[in-house]
């Protein structure tokens, strides 16, 4: 038996990644999120590249890794160091709130069981706030 298996119920998913449906769920979340970013002039101005596709893929791979899925993000990009990676971009209250608004709408499209929704939302709100690097 695999040592990390839950002996009381070996079929019970052991990561959020598995519990919410694995890769397709994260693809759906990030697609919905970036559709919102693309349509938001305030946020669109913060993202440096015309093509949001590569940025979407980096976020998708990061979230998959963070929630217990494959570690492709760090295998290809190294340690996340997210605060450092956001330093070139204006993250203030307005862009943080816009970012979170689109992530809230994207999470809503998943219709997750409430405990998973709450766990992920708490992470997003805290992490987005920790990325602030510009007053106002």
Site residues, ligand HEM (CB under 6 A):
43, 46-47, 49, 55, 58-59, 62, 77, 82, 85-86, 89, 91, 95-96, 99, 124, 127-128, 131
Residue 111 CB, nearest distance to ligand HEM (Å)?
Answer: 20
Helix (H, G, I), strand (E, B) or coil at 47: coil
What is the C-alpha to C-alpha distance for residues 2 and 135, in angstroms, rounded to an integer? 49
Kindly state the smallest distance separating residue 85's Cβ from ligand HEM, in Å.
Answer: 4
The smaller minimum CB distance to ligand HEM, of residues 26 and 99, is found at 99
Least CB distance from residue 122 to ligand HEM, whole Å? Answer: 11
Closest to ligand HEM by CB, 13 or 80: 80
Backbone angles phi, psi at 116, to 5 degrees: -75, -40
* Closest approach of ligand HEM to the CB of residue 104, in Å: 12
State how far the Cα of 116 lies from the Cα of 118, in Å rounded to an integer.
5
Is the distance from CB of 93 to CB of 114 less than 8 angstroms?
no
Report yes or no: 124 and 100 within 8 Å, Cβ to Cβ. Answer: yes
Minimum gap (Å) between residue 136 Cβ and ligand HEM: 13
Toward ligand HEM, which CB reaches closer, 12 or 126? 126
**4: burial class by Cβ within 10 Å (0-12, 13-18, 19+)?**
exposed
Report the residue number, 19 or 91, with the smaller CB distance to ligand HEM: 91
């Amino acid at each position: 038996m695999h040592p990390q298996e839950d002996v009381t119920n070996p079929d019970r998913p052991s990561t959020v990644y598995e519990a919410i449906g694995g890769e397709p769920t994260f693809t759906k979340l990030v697609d919905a999120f970036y559709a919102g970013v693309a349509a938001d002039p305030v946020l669109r101005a913060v993202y440096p590249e015309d093509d949001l596709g590569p940025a979407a893929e980096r976020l998708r791979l990061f979230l998959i890794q963070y929630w217990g899925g494959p570690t492709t993000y760090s295998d290809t990009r190294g340690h996340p160091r997210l605060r450092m990676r956001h330093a070139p971009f204006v993250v203030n209250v307005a862009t943080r709130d816009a970012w979170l608004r689109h992530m809230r709408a994207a999470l809503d499209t998943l219709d997750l069981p409430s405990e998973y929704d709450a766990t992920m939302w708490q992470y997003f709100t805290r992490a987005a706030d920790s990325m602030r690097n510009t007053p106002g």
